[in-house]
Amino acid sequence: MPVSQDDLTLIATTIRTLSMDAIQKANSGHPGMPMGCADIAAVLWSSILSYNPDDPGWINRDRFVLSAGHGSMLLYSMLHLSGYSLSLDDIKNFRQFRSRTPGHPEHYVTEGVETTTGPLGQGFANGIGMAIAQKMLAGTLNNADTSLIDHYIYGLVSDGDIMEGISSEAASLAGHLGLGNIIYIYDYNEISIEGCTDLTFSEDVAKRFEAYGWDVQTINGHDYKEISDSVNRARAETARPSIIIAKTIIAKGSACMEGSEASHGAPLGDEEVRASKINLMCDEDSTFCVPERVYEIFNKRKEELLDTYNEWQEKYRQTVTGELKDSMDRLFSTPSADELRPMLPVFTENEKIATRSAGGRVLESLYDLVPGLMGGSADLGPSNKTFVKGHTESGKNRLGRNMHFGIREHAMGAIQNGIAYYGGFIPFSATFFIFMDYMRPAVRMAALGGLHAIYVFTHDSFFVGEDGPTHQPVEQLAAARAIPNLHVLRPADAEETREAWLYALERNDGPTALVLTRQNIPVLSRGNGNGPENLKRGAYVIRDCNGKPDVIILASGSEVHISVEAAEMLESDNIQARVVSFPSWELFDAQDNEYRKKVIEHGIPKVVVEAGIRMGWDRYVQAHGLYITREDFGESAPASELAEEFGFTKEAVAESIRNYLREKPGK
């Protein structure tokens, strides 16, 4: 080991005392984990992890994922010691408003934090995504002579991570793909909030991970040599992901709370902190103390790494030139919708095509144009229309732009986040809209973190038909729209679907969901001013009427063409109906007041037609309106029959509107 036992002890002790002090000052936090993992962190950060704090965006840096996000003080301690721009004052501000040291690590707040973690299992799967992205990038940059991308993905995972199903999904896929660049250390402290993990958890974790095809080692997590040796063995294992089961003692170093679940989620208390400092042979009167020697060790380490970094930069400049440099520039830039549009499919008026199929055709073109676009489905590729022929494909021990995620929606979402965190790629994932529920926590993380991720959710309503209520989304649109910073687009036809893809590609400050039909729907008639590019305004008049409308119909997706057809029927009754295609609330809300007032003119009766619940539409209707929506679960039957039963044919819509207007709205 390049760092002596004594120095490692000094570093670990510093982590322990910093963590205790910060948590005590905040009077809130999780001391058990940072204290229990201090020895592991000391070894990793002092001699193994490769990074350059002055250039935290260096693409060949090692990634470190703290999946056990409640141990944030471990990470903040290490970032401070190793030279990132995180000061002792930041640490003293732990868990305070707008500090750089929030309760759980937030990558958009703190330099050096690679992922936002806290909800268990997310980080575990994020790391798998990073490993995939790394291998893809290595495929672009490395050649027989030069290896520019050769770092590792490290992770510190907890009992909770291992118990969550998402980790099982991700681990199984990682084993299948042979991601030898992954090195996870499992903080096996056998303590969870309710007490000893043997309350609920007695599986043989080593055997389970072997079953997934991982390389497994078991060590004492407080023995520096075992830690260092096991990591080095894991680095040498390039064909399989590695997990090191490190037996640790939670709150190691504390005077009276070693091994106790009481140390997990609450400060130790002033008295115990003092006693623990004595136990650790520190000055019990000083707080936030970092011995000068610790800074020296890390400064030395920083210098070594600076050399590595400079050498790498030189090699990069020499290797990445010409076409390769162009490829890299394209990978690391955001696509332009206006540049891409002319090269994408155009759909003919009245052509009948499901928006999932239109999406598939658009995606096919995009794969040729946007080299960083990659992704796939949770085993529904043929239905989601997301498999792009003629491009590379992932399989056993192999990666490609066509990912096969298996029937693992939750891991898919979090792996996608990992790819987005890594950079260079724009990941998409696909499943039936109903199964968004299975991956919702990962979608929320993408929205919270402002990740550039795209979701292809097909089979978007009861129009799914025979598969029945378990497969028919009803509340999913509302529930998706509820997530802050997720942009939900439900295009009305194939033309809007192309525009939705373009929007999703260009938007790089958060995720976008494309909500697409299973069933064929016509490409809408369009004149001047109501072209599909209006999708980006969120809502626009797709069919206007002569003079002031008697009624304004707001509809999205497959209900737009029904509404247009109903409007035409109403015209023969001398009822003038304007139809608004309303693919996205979020985009409409971002328009100026004038535009919004023009589209949803006040004082005119409004009708909402959407094959989902009403919830939230009232905001656009104001006062009274008619809601042709579906408030209950669906049923198993052919889609056309359901449309009749549920009132979603053009005839039924026209009839409902006629009745509504007759009964004087606004009463």
Binding to a copy of itself in span 481-500, by CB under 8 A:
481-485
Please, which of residues 193-222 interact with a copy of itself by CB under 8 A?
193-194, 197-208, 210-213
Name the segment binding a copy of itself (CB under 8 A); options: 47-55, 231-239, 478-486, 554-562: 478-486
Q: Bridge-partner residues for 182, per DSSP?
A: 153
By CB under 8 A, is residue 604 in contact with a copy of itself?
no
Please, which of residues 405-424 interact with a copy of itself by CB under 8 A?
405-411
By CB under 8 A, is residue 111 in contact with a copy of itself?
no
In degrees rounded to 5, what are phi and psi of residue 42? -60, -45
Q: By rule CB under 8 A, what string of x and - marks binding of each residue 136-165 to a copy of itself?
A: -----------------------xx--xxx
Please, which of residues 226-255 interact with a copy of itself by CB under 8 A?
none
Is 663 considered catalytic here?
Answer: no
Burial 295-325 (b: 16+ CB within 10 A, else e): bebbeebbeebeeebeebeeebeebbeeeee
In angstroms, give the least distance from the CB of 369 to a copy of itself: 25
Give the ranges where 93-178 is alpha helix by DSSP (H). Answer: 122-141, 159-163, 165-177
Among 235, 274, 404, 526, binds a copy of itself (CB under 8 A): 404
In angstroms, give the least distance from the CB of 195 to a copy of itself: 8
Q: Which long-range contacts link 525-532 to residues 24+ away (Cβ below 8 Å)? A: 525/349, 525/350, 525/564, 526/349, 526/495, 531/495, 532/491, 532/493, 532/495, 532/496, 532/498, 532/499
By CB under 8 A, is residue 175 in contact with a copy of itself?
yes
Closest CA to 134 of 408, 422, 361, 399: 422
In angstroms, give the least distance from the CB of 242 to a copy of itself: 16
Burial 194-221 (b: 16+ CB within 10 A, else e): eeebeeeeeeebbebbeebbbbbbbbeb
Residues in the chain, overall count: 667
Give the ranges where 320-434 is alpha helix by DSSP (H). Answer: 322-331, 337-340, 355-369, 381-384, 409-422
Catalytic residue among 106, 164, 364, 409: 409
Residues 6+ apart with CB under 8 A from 79: 53, 86, 110, 111, 112, 113
In degrees rounded to 5, what are phi and psi of residue 375? 160, -165
Find the radius of gyration of the CA atoms of the chain.
Answer: 28
Please, which of residues 529-568 interact with a copy of itself by CB under 8 A?
none
Residue 665 corresponds to which tokens in the numbers above? Answer: 């709205």
Give the SS3 label for residue 220: strand
Among 333, 368, 382, 525, binds a copy of itself (CB under 8 A): 382
Please, which of residues 299-358 interact with a copy of itself by CB under 8 A?
none
First to last CA, the chain: 81
Please, which of residues 432-471 interact with a copy of itself by CB under 8 A?
434-435, 437-438, 440-441, 444-445, 447-448, 465-471
Among 269, 618, 652, 658, binds a copy of itself (CB under 8 A): 618
Please, which of residues 572-601 interact with a copy of itself by CB under 8 A?
none
By CB under 8 A, is residue 665 in contact with a copy of itself?
no
Nearer to a copy of itself, 42 or 478 (CB): 478
In angstroms, give the least distance from the CB of 633 to a copy of itself: 5
Nearer to a copy of itself, 146 or 383 (CB): 383
In angstroms, give the least distance from the CB of 499 to a copy of itself: 25
By CB under 8 A, is residue 641 in contact with a copy of itself?
yes
Nearer to a copy of itself, 159 or 610 (CB): 159
Name the segment binding a copy of itself (CB under 8 A); options: 13-21, 43-51, 138-146, 376-384: 376-384
- What span, in angstroms and rounded, lies between the C-alpha atoms of 410 and 422? 19
Nearer to a copy of itself, 273 or 436 (CB): 436
* Number of neighbouring beta carbons within 10 Å of residue 411: 31
3-state secondary structure labels for all residues of 377-399 = ECCCHHHHCCCCCCCCECECCEC
Please, which of residues 22-51 interact with a copy of itself by CB under 8 A?
26, 28-29
Nearer to a copy of itself, 315 or 404 (CB): 404
Identity of residue 605:
P
Catalytic residues: 409
